[in-house]
Amino acid sequence: MATKHLEGRVAIVTGGAGGMGSHVSRVFAEQGAKVVVADTGADVEGRMGVDPARVDAVVDDIRKAGGQAVAFIGDIADMETAEKLVGFALENYGTLDVLVCAHGILRERMIFNMSEDDWDGVIRAHLRGCFAVTKFASILWRTQRNGGRIIYFTSDAGISGGPGQSNYSAAQAGKIGLMRSNARALERYGVTSNVIAPLAATRMTDRGRGVEPGADGPPSATSAGKPMDPKNVAPLLVWLASEEGGAANGKIFGVSGHRISLYEDPVQERYLHTRDAFFNIDKLFELWPKTLGLQAYPMPEIEGIERQPSAMS
């Protein structure tokens, strides 16, 4: 019999009925976890209100397959609702071991066309949502002191920026900062915090992509068994949520097709240093093109500066 790596663990999956979250919910249940599927069932832009049927459908699928799951309907960016979500997990399963934040919305606009509502809505859903539910999960774990796992989903937009996604890019970058803060603050309580930047076909990534000639539908409907299949992200999720996953903390992972990658933490690429005095303006203008302004890669050898080798090379 195959090992169930999450046997007996309790997990909250926010956005648990969405394109990525529904796969996480199902795979966690297959691996023995008791899953709280938390979602509103809303549309990709978060404008169409609540649709419990989508959430209930995921829970029903899990139960029919022999797994354990319950549905929680609510906006977890609301502090009271986020607190209720953690309490709901305790009421149903007695504990909480894993928090996966897979929720989110997308409202794409160039920054000069971005409305205040579109900015605030995306930041609220993604970043405030992660903060709110993490706050109440961490209160529990701080008291219990028996460890926990926090896993956020970020995006390449949060790492390198998306030109028509200033709100989304800022929210995803914010998750990385929040993850790193969690990792440092909660490590003493046995809690780890990591993020995954997946490349997969979901309702959200269908936007702006046409249906390929001969395809039966958009990429999210035809990705099964292909490199963009969201199921490809599942093995890393399971490992990070497991007891063994405690070996990783404060890390950014990527999943793309057949590849799982570990991102290098930001390091100083080069620096300009004065021995005695602060820089004056004219001196900085003189030195910039020959030092910090150099764009060549790898960086030319400059006396007194040593470039750190890439961990990915």
Q: What is the pLDDT of residues 196-211, one digit of tens each?
A: 998 754 455 545 545 4
Helices (H), ranges, the chain: 21-30, 52-64, 79-93, 116-123, 129-144, 156-160, 166-186, 203-206, 219-222, 234-241, 281-287
Contact yes or no for 15/40 (Cβ under 8 A): no
Q: What is the pLDDT of residues 84-131, one digit of tens each?
A: 999 999 999 999 999 999 998 888 899 999 999 999 999 999 999 999
Closest of 1, 2, 12 to residue 241, by C-alpha: 12
Domains of the chain with bracketed CATH: 10-262 (3.40.50.720), 268-313 (no CATH)
SS3 content of the chain, % helix, strand, coil (to 5): 40, 15, 40
Q: What is the pLDDT of residues 7-60, one digit of tens each?
A: 999 999 999 998 789 999 999 999 999 999 999 987 766 666 778 999 999 999
Spatial distance between the Cα atoms of 109 and 162, rounded to a whole number of angstroms = 10
DSSP conformation class of 196: E
CA distances to 139, 248, 276, 294, 296 from 291, rounded to whole Å, are: 47, 36, 18, 6, 11
DSSP conformation class of 53: H
pTM of the model: 0.85
Please name every residue paired with 109 in a beta bridge, in sequence order, or none if there are none: 165
Spatial distance between the Cα atoms of 199 and 107, rounded to a whole number of angstroms = 19
Enzyme catalytic residues? 168
- Spatial neighbors of 193 by CB under 8 A, at least 6 apart, are 150, 151, 152, 179, 180, 182, 183, 186, 249, 250
- Work out the mean pLDDT of the chain and round it to a whole number: 85
Q: What is the pLDDT of residues 152-207, one digit of tens each?
A: 999 888 888 888 889 999 999 999 999 999 999 999 999 999 999 987 544 555 45
Question: In this structure, what token pair is assigned to residue 166?
Answer: 């200033």
- State the pLDDT at residue 272: 82
